[in-house]
Every structure is written in structure tokens, then in C-alpha cells.
Structure 1
Amino acid sequence: MKNTPFHAQHIALGAKMAPFAGYNMPISYSGINEEHQAVRTNAGVFDVSHMGEFIVKGEGALDLIQRVTSNDAAKLVAGQAQYSCMPNGEGGIVDDLLIYCLEPGKTYMIVVNAANIEKDWNWIVARNTGGATLQDISDRTALLAIQGPNATKILQTLTDVDILNLKYYTFVKGTFAGVDNVLMSATGYTGAGGLEIYFEATEENARKIWDAIFAAGSAASGIKPVGLGARDTLRLEMGYCLYGNDIDDTTSPLEAGLGWITKFTKDFTSRPFLERQKAEGVKRKLVGFEMVDKGIPRHDYVIADAAGNPIGRVTSGTQSPSLGKAIGLGYVDVAHAALDSKIKIIVRDKLLEAKVVRVPFS
């Protein structure tokens, strides 16, 4: 089991720790609901150093990225990031990921899910037929996500770079809290705004940056450490997919509502399959739903029609801390996917009513 560079800080704060994707990770500190509300109303700090980072560079870099990912990375200029996915050749998804353009056509950083680092690396390496240079820098890279409406205001005192006006899905490099060569981005996974910072994973850097963030936060009405528990409830309220729950090797990006990152203007893995699927129409869709009857939907619960016939499965579900109601995501047959469709969630052998709603949840 690996530890992130912030392990000592988590233990000192009394974090509830648990294994996640091969790492010992903080699940919560003061409680999921309190941490969730801190991010929605002020600012919270997530240690997400377990994520994977690959550098792809050289003359064949863009060609490789274009072939293995579904979005169009050729549109990226230096300082832009892009959400994308890697189709698996059979209509499913190897992983969803972020692409950072460091030098157009020549140098990129790909950020992948922690549980998929080895799988993704092997997938990309096997398709590197154009001579791109690949580096797995995951173990050398620390990553904090500071999220919330006051996050950048708190952090601006720690860098000379203008992060207050950093546009969504862009990034800059500079000095942060006295540490050089820090990549600061605004991609987010909570819907609350904020900043992600990537830097060299040394104990000294980790201690310096962690302490500086919380010192700045104390002077600006407080900032809280937040665990993976609240990260999950925050992303679910936004309707963001979690790999392994809402998307995986068996779900297509079109079924998952990710047609907007599936560009048929270029060649990529699974393009013929996905073009066919788009033309014929998908048979199931990932939908958001809220509970009408009292009950909390959980991963893998059966979704049924009014008569109790199975029509799909829940992929993610929780009691929303912000909205005060139970919400979820799940795949259902297209006949039941329209907004306001009444569906049933089977909870402990009971048929509980739910309604298909638009995401983000409100």
C-alpha cells in the first residue's frame, strides 16, 4: 500500500484512512457532510496525489493522443486542458482522462485515474507506433485540488501568477508557496470552482505547500481538509461520471452522455463502432434521477419499471448534502430515459419511486 506525500498531515489531522486504488487515502476528517458544505460555501483541500500523470512528447505525440483518445486534441493551444476518454476498441472505455497541452503538437501531460495507471500506460505504450517519447511521472508528482468559491481568493496570496482570472480548463506554470515549477489548473471535479496544483512530490515541497495553504486559509475565514467521501458526493451532485461506477470497459461514451467528447472529425480507436452506434441510436442511457419515495439508491441496485421489470442498474447514489434529497445516476433502457420518466429503484426488495431529472441536480 502506497502513501501520498501528505500522509503525515492526514494522520496528524485524525483523518479516517482507507485503501483506495493501491493508496492509503483520507476518506474523511470532520465528516462527509461538513466537508461537502465547506467546499460548496468556502474552500476545501483534497489530496489527489494518487492520480496518474504521463508525459507524451516528440513529433509523434499529437498523433498518438489523437488515435487513442476520443476528443480532438489538435484544437489545444499551450495552456489549455481537455476532458477526453480512451475507447477500448469494443465500444467501451479504457479510462476517462485530462489532456494538458504544454507545447502544441509536441508535449502533453495526460492525467488518468489512479486505479487505471498501469492499464492506461500499457494501452498507450502498445499503440505508440509513431515514435513518441512516453514518461510515467505518477510517483514523482503530487497533486492537491483546492476547491470552492473562495479557493482562488485564498490561494492568490501564495503566487504571483494571476489565478483569480484563470479560465475554466486552462492552466499556468509558476512559483507557488515558494515552490518552483508548479502547474496550476482550473479543471475541477466538484462544480465549485477552484484550483489544482501539480508539483514535484518531495516531503519538503508537500509540507511547505500544505502548511502555506492552511495558513492562508486561516487568515481568510478558514479552509478545510476534505476526503474522498465528500469528493464523491460533490461530483455526483454535478452529474460527473466516476470511472468504475458510471463508466467502464462495458459502457460507451455515447451511452454515458459523453458524445460531446467524441469527435468523428478524426480517426480514433472505436470510431467505426461509435459512428454506427450514433446512427442506429443507443439502447440504454445514463440518466440522473431523484428519489420520490424515501430511500437511498446505491451502486448496483436494480432499476425497474412500474411493474417491477428490470430496466437498468444504479451506478452511483447518495443522500445529497446540498439538496437534502436522495439522488443517483444509472443506466436505463432508452424508453425510460426521458426527463420526468417515473422509474422504480429496488431497495431491500421494495419498489421505491424515483424520477428522471436533469443534471447537474438541483
Structure 2
Amino acid sequence: MLQIDKKKCFIALGEFLSQFSLDKSTKNAAVKNNDLFYDEFLKLIELSQSHNGWFTHEQVYFAIQSWAEALTEANLNEWLSNYDFSNIKPKTVGLILAGNIPLVGFHDFLSVVISGHKVQVKTSSNDQKLLPFLANYLISINPEIKNYITFTDDKLEHFDAVIATGSNNTSRYFEYYFKDKPSIIRKNRNSVAVLTGNETAEDLENLGEDIFRYFGLGCRNVSKLFVPKGYNFDAFFQAIYKQKEVIYYEKYANNYDYNKAVFLMSNFKLLDNEFLTIKEDTSYSSPISSLFYEYYEDIELLKNRLEADADQIQCIVCKDYFENSIPFGETQKPKLWDYADNVNTIDFLLQLS
């Protein structure tokens, strides 16, 4: 199967996904195979929260729209034009996917298939429905692509390489188990924001999106702030107030109550706006409903610190103070060429041949 044919499948998938939004899903008669898939996908979206309590309609629709915007002919061409796939000899690549946010493993799936390799997918128990559905849509567009896609509920077998995502603990297991295979092993990472006090209200409102999207469960969610000595959090709290409805979601509220109680019993000093606690802490990883912060005095020293800790950080959000930083509000809108952990997945796949 030629890459151009696979590309056409993913473009068709993008057109299919573009029909679905939280405000109003609208069936487009021009989209291929809608009669088979449109209503079923709506039902799957409605049931997503029963499969994973964190997968609310809002979060699932956001993920779907993000992929609809990414899977265009222009984006795919811009991404793939940087690579030479002419010497690919198809290998089987095992994927062990996370399930913290909807379709979190789709980029790895896309990368393997579009590069010309075969994919053997083990989904997370927390996200078992969405990706297989989208794979079936791809197969309906061109049945030949089925030869490149396998899902398994059991352990991976007969594979040539692996891409596995998990916690720091599971990564040690992955590294041992897959030591004889080419691999990308992803561990825990967190994202940070660097503030100077000169941010606009819009910047800080957008930062709220980076913090609260997917309830903060993603590695691209900001979990820590670096702020200058004497920073006044009033403008920050005012700007993120538009996110207040997050507290009405029971799972989030339970985490807020629990983590706040733990902090208070430990006599930690907190800032609190009744839906987010902020705690001074040197760690990068904060619990759900909490945000850590740390003061800095010299931004150049902070740059050195973050460079030294690069293996713990997924994204740095700021106003162009750091190389490869991300603008406020954009952490959960990665481009196709934005690779997790800054490890170029396509380069890895090209080296397998």
C-alpha cells in the first residue's frame, strides 16, 4: 500500500472527525461512509465517560476537534515532506499506550502506519474504545490498510520494535522487558510555565487552559509555575476564575477536597481559590487540583536549571524567554511535528529499515 493512499485515509478521517463538536455536531453528506460510522461515533462519545470517568463530553470533543484540525492534507504534507520513506522495509512496531487523556496514543499510531510499518497496539484499559473505532473507519476507507493494523488484549508478540508509555515505575519494567528491541520508552513528564509579572490578563486566562484542560491529567498540562520573588498571584487568580466550573465535576472535586486536606494537615502554607490550591514546592509533579510554584531571582539561572532537568519536562510555557517555548494556551494543541519527550518518532521508525 502506497504512502499516498494511507495519507488519503487519514485525511478522510480528519474530515470525518471535523463533524463532531461539543456545541453542535453536524453531519456532512460529503464525508465518506457516514452512514456506517456517524451515529455510532456519537453513541461512543456519549458513552465515553462510562468507560473512563475523566473522559467527559467536553474533553473528548476537544481531543476529537484537535485531531480534526491536525489531519489535513496541508499539515500531513508539511510534516512528512521532511522525510524520505523510499527505503522503508515494513517492520511490526508494538505500541503500549497510556490512557490518561482521550486518544493520547494516536500520534504514535499515526506515525507507525504513515511511515510504512505495521502496528500492533495494546490500548490502555482507560481508553479502549476510541482508537479501535477510528482504525475501523480507516479500514472502511481503504481495506488494504487493515494489513498494517492489529489490536491485542494480550501481551505483544512477534514485534520488531516498541514504543511504550507509562509511569517512571513501569518504564523500568519496559526497559528490562524490551532491552533487546529498538524502543522508545516514555516516562513521567510535566510541563511548567515561567511568569515575569508582565503577562496580560489574556495570557493568564490562556494559561488556565494549559492548567485545566483534561483536568490537568496530561503531561502537556502545566503543573508548576516559576514566578519572580514577590510575585502577586491576584491577577493570576482573577484570570483563571473562568475555569471555576471544574469544581462541579465530582471526580475533580474529590481530588480537590482530599489533596487540600492532606496539605492542611501537614501544615503547608497554601493559596486557595476554592477550586485550585497553590503550594510552594520544588517538585514538578503536582496532584490533581493543585499547582506548585517556585520563586526565581535570575531568569538565566532558571534557564540553566530547566535545561538540566529537561528529562523531566514536556513543555515550557512563557512569552519567548526560552528556546522552543510554547505560547500561553497552546500546550494541548501540538502540531504533527511536535514529538513527545522531544524524541522524533519518525526518525526512530526510519532507522528500523
- Structure with more strand by fraction: 1
TM-score (norm 1): 0.28
